[in-house]
Amino acid sequence: MKKFGLLVLGIIVGAAAMYFYCCNETIEEFLPPKGIITPAEAKVLDEAFNSRHQLISDSIVKRPDNRSSWYSLSDMRAYLDFAESEAKGLGYTMDGVRVYLGAHPDEKEVGYTTMFFIPTGTKSLSEGSMINLSLQKSGDVIGGSGLNGGENGIPPGANYPQ
């Protein structure tokens, strides 16, 4: 009888532990990635760009210019999945994206400057290789598609925050 009581107690304790382990709703916490900045730091970076932006807009472009690009979460997630798949097909292991500044070659009134993403990675090793070449430097995935579908800031010349 004593063993039966311990068995029942074990089942009850196990069921309670499983309930709290599996069924308890908790808020998932994410650790911030490397490079996170505060809004105050973003403001300093934005203000430090003002003189360059003014010089380019007034002296070179001679018209209002774009200061930011906006991308939807769904577009970003879809692009990252697509780029990783494409990089794999091109023989690369994708490890990130590089953001480039660019300019549309047409004569738009605003929105001349743009930002676009290019996948980065290292050449994949053959599956049978025993040599670890982890010292490879990550570079642009040659032949990989970029993403340049962001919307201009509102208004295009607005500083941080919008």
pTM of the model: 0.69
- Give the number of other Cβ atoms within 10 Å of residue 5's Cβ: 9
Lowest mean pLDDT among 20-29, 92-101, 111-120: 20-29
- Amino acid, res. 130: M
Residue-wise pLDDT tens digits, 138-154: 899 999 999 998 888 77
On the question of a cis peptide bond just before residue 155, with omega within 30 degrees of 0, the verdict is: yes
Assess whether pLDDT exceeds 70 at residue 107: no
Over residues 55-82, the mean pLDDT reads 86
Assess whether pLDDT exceeds 80 at residue 131: no
CA dihedral 57, 58, 64, 67 (to 10 degrees): 30
Helix (H, G, I), strand (E, B) or coil at 55: helix
Over residues 102-119, the mean pLDDT reads 79
List the chain domain ranges. Answer: 36-65, 68-126+133-151
What percent of the chain has a predicted confidence (pLDDT) above 70? 77
d(CA 3, CA 112): 79
